[in-house]
Structure 1
């Protein structure tokens, strides 16, 4: 659906040359929600804006729905862009126009006949839950309502791709959840491919199928959201995940533990099985739970538990081997005294 190949975007600044996007290659599948995560300056906004050529790449290729956008001339590129909707953090609504007029403006710009505009706008307002706000002005709307208008405007021309540039960063947690639910609904009902950038792992965890982590213009990790949460490979990814799934334990607790402390990770259906209780029943080992939780990512459980194991060394080794054989990952994070 979206193919990004060896993409580079170089900016010339007073202080020198900056590589905003550094040799990035990604594939986004049709109908999926793909998240791009990174801190400010990581290059994620530059990458997103290259996808619809709001930023023209210095080199590389962007193919959307089989069209290489980097090779299209002005008119053909304009037509291709009609199939790529975009929403922003700060909404960018026209304050002098009503909700209805803001959405209709996108249709007018695409030369849709006036007779068809009214029906299309009303369809969109119903879709985003703002049918009763058609005649009000942006200043009369909440942040979440403004973003819903922006989403309706982005969907006006029946795009196949929706790009979201920090679409929930300016919203409170409750409103963020409602907007994410709307995006999920749009993805499922209209089969629109969504690419969103964010610095919030909760957003990715909530709705994305796959994701990429960016740092200094490069993609440093990529994969399914579930696998990245279950087994992050880089320190930055682990840092992002810790903002959502934290297992910080006070140092004083560690000092009180005499046996080895292990971190046990269960993936998929195994997370719902009684592996730990089975282990403690079968071996002469006592377990002291220090932390744990089961997260649900894309409706799949991911269980992570931290516990102290007490008993004879041989029994502890047997218990750890048993847990591993039950398709769990065991990491010893502190050896016993």
Structure 2
């Protein structure tokens, strides 16, 4: 669906050339929700804006639905862009126009016949849950309602791709969840491919199938959201994940522990099974839970537990081997005193 090949974007500044995007290659499958994560300045917004050529790449190639956008100009590019909707953090609604008129504006710009516009706008308003707001102005709307209007406007011309540039960053947690649920609904019902950039791992965890982590214009890690949460490879990725799933145990607690401290991770369906309790019953080992939870990523459980084990050294070793054979990942964080 979207293929980004060796993409670079170089900006000229008064201090010289700066690489906003540095030789990035990504393939995004049709119908998936793909997250691009990074701190401010990582290059994620530049990359997103290159996808629809709001920013023209310095080098590389972008293919969307079989069309090489980097080879297009003028009217051909304008027509191709109609199939790529975009929403932003700050909505960018026209304050002097009603909700209805804001959405209709996109259709008029695309030269839809006037007799078809009214029906299409009403259909879009129903889809985003704002039929009762058709005649009000943006200043009368909440942040979440404004973003719903922006989403309706982005969907006006039946795009196959929706680009979301920090679409929930200006919203409170409850409103963010409602917007993410709307995006999931759009993705499922319309099979629209969604590319979402954010610095919030909660958003990625909630909605994305796959993700890329960016730093200094480069993609430093990529894969399924579940696999990256379960087994992050880079320090930056670990830092992002810890902002959502923290398993730090205070040193004052650790200092009181005499036995070895272990971290046990259960992936998939076994996360819901009582493997630890089975182990403690079968072996002459006692467990002192220090931290733990089961996270749900794309409705798949990921269980992570940190515990102190007490008992004979060989018995503890055998117990950990038993847990490992049950498809769990075991890491000894500290040997016993």
Give CA deviations for 1:8-64 in whole Å, capped at 9, x if unaligned: 000111112111000000000000000000000000000000000000000000000
Corresponding residue number in structure 1 for 2:223 = 223
Q: Secondary structure at the match of 2:289?
A: strand
Q: CA deviation at 1:281?
A: 1.1
**Runs of 5+ consecutive residues of structure 1 not aligned to the other structure:** none
Matches of 2:99 and 2:303, distance apart in 1:
45
Q: CA deviation at 1:284?
A: 1.0
Matches of 2:229 and 2:252, distance apart in 1:
28
Corresponding residue number in structure 1 for 2:212 = 212
Corresponding residue number in structure 1 for 2:2 = 2
Matches of 2:42 and 2:98, distance apart in 1:
36
Q: CA deviation at 1:73?
A: 2.3
Matches of 1:205 and 1:288, distance apart in 2:
29
Q: Secondary structure at the match of 1:233?
A: coil
Does structure 1 residue 166 correspond to structure 2 residue 148? no
Corresponding residue number in structure 2 for 1:288 = 288
Matches of 1:7 and 1:317, distance apart in 2:
49
Matches of 2:85 and 2:18, distance apart in 1:
28
Q: CA deviation at 1:74?
A: 1.3
Structure 1 length-normalised TM: 0.99
Aligned residue pair count:
337
Corresponding residue number in structure 2 for 1:267 = 267
Corresponding residue number in structure 1 for 2:331 = 331
Corresponding residue number in structure 2 for 1:122 = 122
Give CA deviations for 1:238-272 in whole Å, capped at 9, x if unaligned: 10000110111110111001011000000001101
Does structure 1 residue 315 correspond to structure 2 residue 305? no
Q: Which runs of 4+ in 1 moved over 3 A?
A: none
Matches of 1:260 and 1:57, distance apart in 2:
53
Q: CA deviation at 1:222?
A: 0.3
Matches of 2:74 and 2:258, distance apart in 1:
70
Which segment is superposed worse, 80-89 or 311-320? 311-320
Structure 2 length-normalised TM: 0.99
Q: Secondary structure at the match of 1:256?
A: coil
Q: CA deviation at 1:334?
A: 1.0
**Runs of 5+ consecutive residues of structure 2 not aligned to the other structure:** none
Corresponding residue number in structure 1 for 2:184 = 184
Corresponding residue number in structure 2 for 1:133 = 133
Which segment is superposed worse, 77-86 or 274-283? 274-283
Please give the residue correspondences for 1:296-315 in structure 2 after superposition, counting only pairs within 5 Å: 296-315=296-315
Matches of 2:332 and 2:216, distance apart in 1:
32
